[in-house]
Structure 1
Amino acid sequence: MQIKRRNKRHAGFIFTVTATVVLALGGCVSEQEDGQESEPDPTEDEQETAPPPNDEEETEPEPDVPEAYGVSAGHPDAVEAGMTVLENGGNAVDAAIASAYAISVVEPFASGVGGGGVTLVQEQGQDPEAYDYREVVPEDGVPASGIGVPGFVAGTKELHDDYGEADWQTVIDPAIELAESAEVSETLAQQLQSAQDRLPVEQLEHFYPGGTAIEAGATLEQPALAETLRDIRDSEGTSFYEGDTGEALTAVEGLDMDSLADFDVGRHDPVTGEFAGYEVTGAPPPLPGASVIQMLQIMEERGTLEEERNSTPFVHDIAMSWRIAQQFVDADFGDPSFVDVPVDSIVDREQNAALAEEISSDSVLPEDENRTYGDSDPNTTHITVIDDDGAVVSMTNTLTNFFGSSEYTDGFFLNNQMDRFDIGQTDQNTPEPGRRSVTWSSPMIVADDEGPVLGVGSPGGERIPIMLTQVISDWVQEESDLEEVIEADRFHLTDNALVMENVPEPNVRDALLDIGYDEIREAPTPLYFGSIQALMIDRDNDSISGAADSRREADWRIETRE
């Protein structure tokens, strides 16, 4: 789909705060601390004629927020779980947690209690916050399986403790019901079939009845997972780290009770930067939120937003901005609890303006031949929620690869997040106990001068940053609605090849090859370019809107508060 690119939508992103305090005169005669007398009380007549005191301060107007709420997720059952919570008085965080547990049941290949995730939360008129509950290195170091200490349960519980309004039981119950009985989707059936050779089929009779992958449309019962979820619900998460589930996890190579009990949610300030009149917020390192902001700023400096979508300059500028961003990931990114990451520099507009000048319109920047990683699985799942107070939650959860490490216990698969320590070429991303790896999960929030107006994210492995750069740049165009944005063709740069969702026009193809790209090829799988889950607030029309990404089984729903 072609998106017509016109003038940018200008949000005028300048925060101003004015506070004027008008003090009323009055008080009794007294000695002041400096020895001076105060003014005497007015007479009775003077009191009758004196103007009333003005104790009010000039404050910023309340943000314009629609009386609506909604959920966007990678599966209809996850949307339904979140909407049920919102309809019964829960807020955006409650709904996101309910959706996260629900989708971990119906898409056990992409996320779950055996993995981790990262969440951004921003309320109207407030600063955004980030929760990084991805897996950490166990106390004895990285096991051969690549399994890290799972953080999903701890992270969602801390989110609920800080923000939740609904009961913990209320947000977990929809997932338990799905674990007891749910319909198998096309994607789950396909993933089970394609992964059969690397999964412990003998432990998975419910997924492989008679040794054959369960078919789409069949009813799936996961009693072991239902029991684990009930324990998480009833113990408020402690069973996973200190109870029966924790004991079961110690049978897994590399995991131990001390490592489980010591898990802490990462709490670092999210990354923010200006782009096209908006404030863009991303997850902090070692996640690539700063990379998306950097790429957007490079594009803005080069005038890429004025180019036609899928034109040669548009594709080339984004591809080269990703090449530049990768160099920073390789050299500088790491867990900020262990190393310094120059975030301010990476999202500095002046530096990115200078980097934009390094991009030539008729040549390709050299690739780094020492890079050790390449295209990764199109994994993870994303959830976006907006409640009727205008709070936005952008949440990305993952097992890393599809089905993670393939190890299965107590009804769920365990991650292989520790494999992501292969990203980078310095000591910035080196495993040690308690440390998180660099990886590609990248929930984003975009705000205007009143507060958040867009929550967005996607699965897709290494392609997540470049995809979100395309989506956000499309979204700021005045004539592009969210449905057009999500359906627009996507592309990725890997080595010196462009992977494109649809074959470009012959003149564009020839021009890109002349610039120096080795080849232009199609995506290897239908899932390659992820699934954007986004919701936006339209203040002008007093509404919330979303769109379903047809690349997967994504869904969204909006309701108006009566």
Structure 2
Amino acid sequence: MPRPHTPSTRRLAPLAALSAVLLAAAGCSASAPDPPSGGTGSPPGHSSAGGASGTGSTTPAPSLSDDVLQEQAVAAGHPAAVQVGTEILEKGGNAADAAIATAFAVAVVEPFASGIGGGGAALVATGSEDPVAYDYRETVPGTGEIPESGTGVPGFVDGMATLHAEHGSLEWSELLAPATALAQEGFPVSPMLAQRMRSDYGPGAIEGLEQFHGPGGGPLAEGEELVQAELADTLDTLASQGPEALYTGSLAGQLTAVDGLDAATLAGYETETTEPVGGSVGDHTLVSAAPPLPGAGVVQFLQVAEALGVAEEEPGSAEYVDAMATAWQVAEAGVRESLGDPAFVDVPVDRLTDAEVNADLAREAGAPAPAAAGPREPIEAGNTTHLTVVDASGLTVSMTNTITSFWGGEHAQEVGGFFLNNQLSRFEALDTPANQPEPGRQSVSWSAPSLVLDAEGRVVMGLGSPGGQAIPSILAGVLVPWVLQGAPLQEAVDAPRHYLQDGVLALEDQPSAEVAALARQRGWQPRVTERADAVFGSVQALQIDYEDGTVTGAVDSRREGDVAVVPAG
């Protein structure tokens, strides 16, 4: 059985602010809207996430048994993982079940991006109920010391167990079985995996690991079978002994043998349950990951861009690029100046997500800074992975998981068939007064699972992306066309992306004459990225239409993401 969970709620804030946003978006001042037919809440026998939201209510949540949609869907970073999730839905599992199973499957087929040795964050929404955020990222150990590897206490397994305890309906072991089979039986190496084994940290990470090498001694080639027997054994242990096996049981010893991880901190790990941040964008409300994740920065980014008139500009045009770069400059400054773990520092979320304040900042904003003289550091590869799931009841999960840098970075470490994170390196990467390591503290990072709500407070889109520091720009590049310009979802996902970092303007293609002229005027250095750079992520988005009961997905061709929509029931 999964280990009992009483997730930490030390970062919870009152619901009033987000509720006010939703009411304002609906143009009313009365009570919150009634839920759609079928009700909302957790499956029978499970505690309601709403009960952990600081309301103090112990009333059981309404059943999610009635369908409000005719379709359900899974979007994830690899087709095999999408298949796992849809099979769970077709078995009668809900969106939380499918998300957990998909996440473990992604950990098998994308071992460079996420897994047991890492962490993540998820937003869960049940109909018109206020969304709940889960943060199960890595923490600084009790010693307060960060090892050279940057490895923090991994929270992925605890996070999945928490979601299962609060929202799941199928047995824990049933959700891990597909990932175990993928690891034990093997699967064809994809182009992305083959590339990652040969790029940046890949060669060092897989050195000495036989499962990643072919008969000739080189890394497995595209199409060759990757069998991960040791990982299969670890997954089987987690399935049979429960998630506590990793924290206090038979698997804990392999973690406590790692520099920086100790038994007491490992045993005391708890997933954080809190509220996502929220703010108005156009006629919708965007909710995203709570601090120390950058959801407030994503909201601020979009509000500033909207105030700058970006809705009137063609995506990819010089005017669009200029407005988005200016908006990102404001939002990035907000992240760098204000963001930190709210258990340790005060984070001015209300100010960062206030549309009027951000409209003022838009009017005051100057042109983004030009590139500094001298050689430029390469833009970091867009690590991490994301998945989104919607079931027939309307339950929606938006989840971003990671081991931080691909393979866990320069000092990659593999134990039990999985790779450990280097998440605590983010303290040094964003060395600000609000982001300093202390025991139990989480670092600022860039994962931003998000949901878009309509004027009635219902989820109409779940989305997220890998991409490291570029994640806010990636999400904004999809949300501006979709929310502010009314573009179809696939068109919004396909829209050209760019990212300004330290005066370097990363682009997907050669700049147009107008964009090149803008770059010269601003003093930016254009840089065209390659697919191998993986800078521009892979957005996994699902759109919900309650009128016709359908779910629409979009395939982001920048990586290997896939989407599947299946009939309800």
Query: CA RMSD, aligned part only?
Result: 2.2
- 2:111 maps to amino acid: P
Is 1:364 the counterpart of 2:371? The answer is no
Confirm or deny: 8 A CA contact 1:498 1:517 kept in the other structure. Answer: no
Give the stretch that moved more between structures: 463-472 or 475-484: 475-484
Confirm or deny: 8 A CA contact 2:197 2:206 kept in the other structure. Answer: no
Is 1:168 the counterpart of 2:187? The answer is no
Compared CA separation, residues 368 and 162, structure 1 to 2 (3 A):
farther
Compared CA separation, residues 432 and 108, structure 1 to 2 (3 A):
same
Normalised by the length of structure 2, the TM-score is 0.85
What SS does the corresponding residue of 1:248 show, helix, strand or coil?
A: helix
* Match 2:153 to one of 145, 149, 153: 149
Compared CA separation, residues 164 and 15, structure 1 to 2 (3 A):
farther
Aligned length: 504
Q: Which residue is 2:490 aligned to?
A: 483
Per-residue CA distance 1:452-492 (angstroms, 9 max, x = gap)? 01001100111000111111111125551111111111000
The structure having more radius of gyration, on CA atoms, is 1
The alpha-carbon deviation at position 373 of structure 1 amounts to: 9.7
* Match 2:195 to one of 190, 196, 201: 190
- 1:413 maps to amino acid: F
- 1:458 maps to amino acid: S
What SS does the corresponding residue of 1:520 show, helix, strand or coil?
A: strand
**Matches for 1:16-35 after TM superposition, within 5 Å:** 17=30
Confirm or deny: 8 A CA contact 1:76 1:556 kept in the other structure. Answer: yes
User: Hey, what's the Cα distance between the residues in 2 that align with 1:244 and 1:427?
Assistant: 39
Confirm or deny: 8 A CA contact 2:317 2:514 kept in the other structure. Answer: no
Q: Which residue is 2:26 aligned to?
A: 13
User: Hey, what's the Cα distance between the residues in 1 that align with 2:417 and 2:302?
Assistant: 41
Per-residue CA distance 1:333-356 (angstroms, 9 max, x = gap)? 111111111111100112101100
* Match 2:286 to one of 280, 283, 301: 280
Per-residue CA distance 1:129-186 (angstroms, 9 max, x = gap)? 0000000011122111110000000011001101111111121111000011222111
Compared CA separation, residues 18 and 208, structure 1 to 2 (3 A):
closer
What SS does the corresponding residue of 1:544 show, helix, strand or coil?
A: strand
Confirm or deny: 8 A CA contact 1:359 1:365 kept in the other structure. Answer: no
User: Hey, what's the Cα distance between the residues in 1 that align with 2:175 and 2:76?
Assistant: 16
Is 1:292 the counterpart of 2:298? The answer is yes
Is 1:385 the counterpart of 2:392? The answer is no
- 2:146 maps to amino acid: V
Confirm or deny: 8 A CA contact 1:381 1:397 kept in the other structure. Answer: yes
Compared CA separation, residues 511 and 375, structure 1 to 2 (3 A):
closer
What SS does the corresponding residue of 2:212 show, helix, strand or coil?
A: coil
Confirm or deny: 8 A CA contact 1:536 1:546 kept in the other structure. Answer: yes
The alpha-carbon deviation at position 13 of structure 1 amounts to: 3.4
Q: Which residue is 2:346 aligned to?
A: 340
User: Hey, what's the Cα distance between the residues in 2 that align with 1:353 and 1:517?
Assistant: 25
The alpha-carbon deviation at position 365 of structure 1 amounts to: 4.6
Compared CA separation, residues 236 and 546, structure 1 to 2 (3 A):
same
Give the stretch that moved more between structures: 98-107 or 85-94: 85-94
Per-residue CA distance 1:351-408 (angstroms, 9 max, x = gap)? 1011001235xx4357899xx9984331000000000011111000000000004101
Is 1:400 the counterpart of 2:413? The answer is no
User: Hey, what's the Cα distance between the residues in 2 that align with 1:158 and 1:519?
Assistant: 45
* Match 2:213 to one of 205, 208, 213: 208
User: Hey, what's the Cα distance between the residues in 2 that align with 1:557 and 1:467?
Assistant: 22
What SS does the corresponding residue of 1:521 show, helix, strand or coil?
A: strand
**Matches for 1:104-253 after TM superposition, within 5 Å:** 104-140=107-143, 141-181=145-185, 182-194=187-199, 195-202=201-208, 204-210=209-215, 211-253=217-259
- 1:364 maps to amino acid: P
Confirm or deny: 8 A CA contact 1:225 1:411 kept in the other structure. Answer: yes
Q: Which residue is 2:540 aligned to?
A: 533
Q: Which residue is 2:4 aligned to?
A: none
What SS does the corresponding residue of 1:267 show, helix, strand or coil?
A: strand
Confirm or deny: 8 A CA contact 2:477 2:495 kept in the other structure. Answer: no
What SS does the corresponding residue of 2:123 show, helix, strand or coil?
A: strand
Confirm or deny: 8 A CA contact 1:291 1:346 kept in the other structure. Answer: yes
What SS does the corresponding residue of 1:206 show, helix, strand or coil?
A: helix
- 1:547 maps to amino acid: A
Confirm or deny: 8 A CA contact 1:331 1:425 kept in the other structure. Answer: no
- 1:530 maps to amino acid: G
Is 1:469 the counterpart of 2:476? The answer is yes
The alpha-carbon deviation at position 15 of structure 1 amounts to: 5.5
Confirm or deny: 8 A CA contact 2:67 2:392 kept in the other structure. Answer: no
Normalised by the length of structure 1, the TM-score is 0.86
Confirm or deny: 8 A CA contact 1:423 1:438 kept in the other structure. Answer: no
User: Hey, what's the Cα distance between the residues in 1 that align with 2:560 and 2:326?
Assistant: 31
What runs of 5+ residues in structure 1 fail to find an aligned partner? 1-10, 20-62
Per-residue CA distance 1:74-101 (angstroms, 9 max, x = gap)? 0011101111111111111111110000
User: Hey, what's the Cα distance between the residues in 2 that align with 1:241 and 1:78?
Assistant: 26
User: Hey, what's the Cα distance between the residues in 1 that align with 2:490 and 2:129?
Assistant: 28
User: Hey, what's the Cα distance between the residues in 1 that align with 2:167 and 2:28?
Assistant: 25
Identity %: 44
Q: Which residue is 1:84 aligned to?
A: 87
Q: Which residue is 1:498 aligned to?
A: 505
User: Hey, what's the Cα distance between the residues in 1 that align with 2:202 and 2:113?
Assistant: 15
Confirm or deny: 8 A CA contact 2:75 2:82 kept in the other structure. Answer: yes
